[in-house]
């Protein structure tokens, strides 16, 4: 008799557990579908809002650098170019710096120094972007105009081929300044990811390499990076996505000029800064053009994430073949 009661109790418990698991899976499915619905809704809303320009001008909107609200002529090439260039500059600066910070905190720094430095770097991520913009405008822009821009123009600006990138008046405002400010902003994100994944490397692997006579650089290059490269690439693209969508800090230091120039010292514009500067006063076709820019920013970010997923999947496939 007690055995029958125990069996009945177990059956009831199993049925309740199965019901709870089913409800839990349903809740998770709804959460995932809500994210997809929000993503799809944002894409479709921006596509619909910019339909007059996207479907009316077509490829001319993507390839033209002219932006004239008075004559209702709009081209997205200058904002797209500014967004991509500033983000690339930020990644080129932030990735080596973040790698050095993460390596220092995990392999070189003494234990008493690791926590304060890591906390200080992570606090940079908590600073509002408008504070970065104000610091960039009032402190960094004058420094660039008085010291860095003249030096680049007089040295690198005279070189063939690459010289065109560093010629221009010492304005301080420009693509290079915006890229450096963006690099400072995304360093906490990339370095935090790198530091966390570097700490997941088993200590026995590193100790074995050191025991065989490997240097710190050899341990990093042959042990740590192969073990964590998927997460490192994911962290880099996370920082890139942050740089692509940054608005206020870029608006302060970019110069907000629609004139297309190959020089990194000249003012430019980006998709997010264009929207922030003009959306409040835009009407009609002008507003449609700005919403179309928002759709293009959505597409660019989506393509970047797709590239990241493709790279990670390729790395997994190569590891599997190996």
Residues 182-215: tens digit of each pLDDT: 999 999 999 988 888 888 888 888 888 888 888 8
Q: What are phi and psi of 73, to 5 degrees?
A: -120, 120
So what's the pLDDT on residue 145?
A: 92
So what's the pLDDT on residue 91?
A: 94
The answer to whether residue 143 scores a pLDDT higher than 90 is yes
Q: What is the dihedral of CA 63, 68, 71, 73, to 10 degrees?
A: 20
Does one domain contain both 57 and 74?
Answer: yes
The answer to whether residue 1 scores a pLDDT higher than 50 is no
Does one domain contain both 275 and 293?
Answer: yes
Q: How far apart are CA 36 and CA 264, in angstroms?
A: 38
Least Cα distance to 304 among 250, 229, 239, 248 occurs for: 239
Looking at the 3D structure of the chain, how many domains does it have? 2
So what's the pLDDT on residue 211?
A: 85
- Per-residue pLDDT reduced to its tens digit, 77-125: 989 999 999 999 999 999 999 999 998 888 888 888 888 888 888 888 8
So what's the pLDDT on residue 320?
A: 58
Does one domain contain both 76 and 31?
Answer: no
Does one domain contain both 61 and 45?
Answer: no
So what's the pLDDT on residue 94?
A: 94
Does one domain contain both 42 and 182?
Answer: no
- The reported pTM is 0.86
Does one domain contain both 17 and 121?
Answer: no
- Per-residue pLDDT reduced to its tens digit, 242-268: 888 888 889 999 988 888 888 899 998
Does one domain contain both 69 and 40?
Answer: no
Does one domain contain both 218 and 273?
Answer: yes
- Per-residue pLDDT reduced to its tens digit, 145-179: 999 999 998 888 888 888 888 888 888 899 999 99
Q: Does a structural domain hold residue 257?
A: yes
Least Cα distance to 162 among 152, 174, 177, 148 occurs for: 152
Does one domain contain both 45 and 60?
Answer: no
So what's the pLDDT on residue 175?
A: 92
So what's the pLDDT on residue 319?
A: 61
Query: What are the helix (H) ranges across 50-109?
Result: 51-57, 59-63, 77-103
Does one domain contain both 226 and 86?
Answer: yes
Q: Does a structural domain hold residue 260?
A: yes
Pair 254, 175: CB distance under 8 Å: yes
So what's the pLDDT on residue 131?
A: 92
Q: What number of helices (H) and strands (E) belong to the chain?
A: 15, 2
- Per-residue pLDDT reduced to its tens digit, 269-321: 999 898 988 888 888 888 989 999 999 988 888 888 888 788 777 777 766 55
- Per-residue pLDDT reduced to its tens digit, 14-67: 777 777 888 989 899 999 899 889 888 888 888 898 888 888 877 888 888 888
Does one domain contain both 33 and 101?
Answer: no
So what's the pLDDT on residue 89?
A: 94
Q: How far apart are CA 287 and CA 221, in angstroms?
A: 50
So what's the pLDDT on residue 318?
A: 67
Range of the domain at 227: 52-131+174-321
So what's the pLDDT on residue 92?
A: 94
Does one domain contain both 314 and 234?
Answer: yes
Q: Does a structural domain hold residue 8?
A: yes
Q: Does a structural domain hold residue 95?
A: yes
So what's the pLDDT on residue 138?
A: 93
Q: HSE (CB half, 13 Å, CA atoms) of 101? A: 26
H or E segment to which residue 276 belongs: helix 271-278
């Amino acid at each position: 008799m007690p055995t029958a009661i125990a069996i009945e109790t177990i059956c009831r418990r199993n049925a309740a557990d199965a019901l709870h698991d089913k409800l839990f899976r349903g809740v998770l499915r709804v959460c995932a579908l809500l994210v997809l619905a929000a993503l799809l809704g944002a894409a479709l809303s921006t596509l619909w809002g910019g339909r007059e320009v996207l479907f009316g001008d077509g490829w001319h909107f993507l390839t033209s650098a002219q932006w004239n609200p008075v004559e209702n002529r709009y081209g997205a090439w200058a904002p797209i170019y500014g967004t991509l260039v500033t983000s690339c500059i930020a990644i080129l600066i932030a990735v080596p710096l973040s790698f050095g910070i993460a390596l220092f905190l995990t392999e070189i720094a003494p234990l008493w120094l690791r926590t304060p430095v890591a906390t200080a770097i992570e606090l940079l991520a908590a600073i509002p972007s408008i504070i970065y913009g104000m610091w960039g405008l009032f402190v960094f822009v004058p420094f660039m105009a008085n010291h860095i821009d003249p030096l680049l123009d007089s040295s690198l600006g005279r070189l063939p081929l690459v010289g065109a990138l560093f010629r221009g008046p010492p304005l301080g405002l420009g693509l290079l300044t915006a890229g450096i400010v963006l690099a400072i902003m995304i360093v906490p994100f990339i370095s935090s990811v790198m530091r966390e994944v570097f700490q997941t490397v088993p200590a026995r692997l590193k100790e074995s390499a050191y025991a065989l006579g490997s240097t710190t650089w050899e341990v990093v290059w042959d042990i740590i990076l192969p073990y964590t490269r998927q997460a490192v690439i994911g962290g880099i693209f996370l920082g890139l996505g942050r740089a692509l969508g940054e608005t206020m800090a870029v608006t302060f230091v970019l110069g907000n000029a629609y004139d297309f120039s190959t020089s990194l010292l000249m003012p430019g514009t980006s998709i997010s800064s264009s929207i922030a500067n003009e959306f409040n006063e835009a009407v009609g076709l002008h507003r449609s053009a700005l919403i179309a820019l928002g759709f293009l920013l959505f597409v660019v970010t989506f393509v970047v994430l797709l590239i990241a997923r493709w790279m990670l999947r390729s790395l997994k496939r190569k590891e599997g073949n190996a």
